[in-house]
Structure 1
């Protein structure tokens, strides 16, 4: 059963944390096969299979991080635009004069000025509404930006959990055939995700295969 990311904005990538029956048997078969192939590699250290599974979840996590980083770039551009809109000085009030009592020419000039004044007042009201809307949106953008890293870390933890569940089953299956004197089955090798906004070194080296 696929389990979607806990992301509110980037739930397009899925992580399968549960192991279905077919996959469970496949993992056990690979563990039994590796009992001979990696008999000199201590249980809990990396084998070719664990490195492959690690790389799979590393790539899933990296794809999700890329999606979130693209979202972050768009939000930062929007944040800059909104902040510039709020920093711009609002239009000043238009000074009107009382209706004249003179001739037709004066009335004509006053009517023209009055139309300009009404347009200015309407623009002020519209500008105020836009500034209020921009302030609300800016607050939402900043909140979302502040949550992106924790969103990624949650998803990366799901990838790590899915990886470790499979490695544990693999190690237990290797242990059952390799050395029954072992009292504890190592849970490793550990999962190391890409990290947020920087690329962490993948697993340093591959264990040497011993037939």
Structure 2
């Protein structure tokens, strides 16, 4: 299996990747095709395919923030079972992030991830791919060591139409032991930076930021 990076919308594999995202994720979770041009050229945003016998069997997108010393898993898609695609992506992603941290002389504190709450996201079929079921994905993140940040989370839809997406939890994978909470100001700063590209944010998002800015610590709890 090969771990192949995509860094241009002109890459023939990107068209297939974007179509795949549209089939798997709800519309509000997929950035428009042309809007990918700039992010793919950003060295801090990493999009990789798992390719097996010339077939795309998995995708992962993630990024790192040098200033905040933190990473974020944007999404992971597993197309085929029985090939070990999940561990392959997770291991290669971790190795790539550790290499980037070393090159940039930073110590990553951990990795954020958004995960669907299966009890609030029952209407999404995720392309009929069984391993993409929210219950399965949540358990996988839990096994990897992710914890849920204990506050009501919403995010602006990637369609930039000002819709609030409320079916997700924000999670965090600590890279240090015995970490049981994060500073609310750190979470707020990361979220504001992460969604800076979207100009049309819903009032619910602004309310969430105001809530975080009024807190000291946010507890990490089991998924």
> Hey, which of these two has a bigger chunk of helix by percent?
1
Higher RCO (C-alpha under 8 Å, 6+ residues apart) = 1
For normalisation by structure 2, the TM-score amounts to 0.21
